């Protein structure tokens, strides 16, 4: 069962999850982070460091967040970034794009300090 980043990540993008991921399967979109499901090894490190509790094991997603399971997978497809399985979240794999589900969400701006930075404010 892979992990899924859900709605509380929108406009936060703290990045602690990306730093903790040993296989670099977490990628940055315009308003939130996304887990590439084919690359996730189900270790749960990302879940343990997320300051806004945005990450769930797929089977633990609340019903209200179920659409984010599909959104995480579709983010990598031809309809959004076209990245497929890029094999590592390097700086070449940062996108201003988001899944349509995220783009339709209101513009709530939330941010958390992280290593002296505040991401998600714009």
Tokens 């690359």: give the residue. 39
Residue 122 pLDDT > 70, yes or no? Answer: no
Tokens 């903790």: give the residue. 20
Report pTM: 0.81
pLDDT for residue 115 = 38
Map 44-78 to HEC letters: CHHHHHCCCCCEEEHHHCCHHHCHHHHHHHHCCCC
Task: Return d(Cα 47, Cα 57) in angstroms, integer.
Answer: 8
Output the furthest CA–CA distance in the chain (Å, rounded).
Answer: 35
Helices (H), the chain: 16-20, 45-49, 67-74, 100-103
Q: Which two tokens stand for residue 67?
A: 């659409």
Residue-wise pLDDT for 50-92, tens only, equals 999 999 998 999 999 999 999 999 999 999 998 988 887 776 7
Cα atoms in the 13 Å half-sphere on the side-chain side of 41: 9
**All domains in the chain, ordered by first residue:** 3-105 (3.30.70.20)
């Amino acid at each position: 069962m892979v992990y899924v980043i859900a709605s509380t990540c929108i406009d936060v993008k703290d990045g602690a999850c990306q730093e903790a991921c040993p296989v670099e399967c977490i990628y940055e979109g315009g308003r939130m982070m996304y887990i590439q499901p084919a690359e996730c090894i189900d270790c749960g490190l990302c879940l343990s460091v997320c300051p806004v509790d945005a990450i769930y094991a797929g089977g633990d997603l609340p019903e209200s967040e179920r659409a984010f399971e599909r959104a995480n997978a579709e983010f990598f497809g031809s309809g959004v970034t076209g990245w497929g399985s890029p094999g590592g979240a390097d700086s070449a794999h940062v996108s201003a794009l988001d899944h349509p589900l995220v783009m339709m969400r209101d513009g709530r701006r939330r941010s958390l300090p992280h290593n002296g930075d505040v991401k998600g404010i714009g």
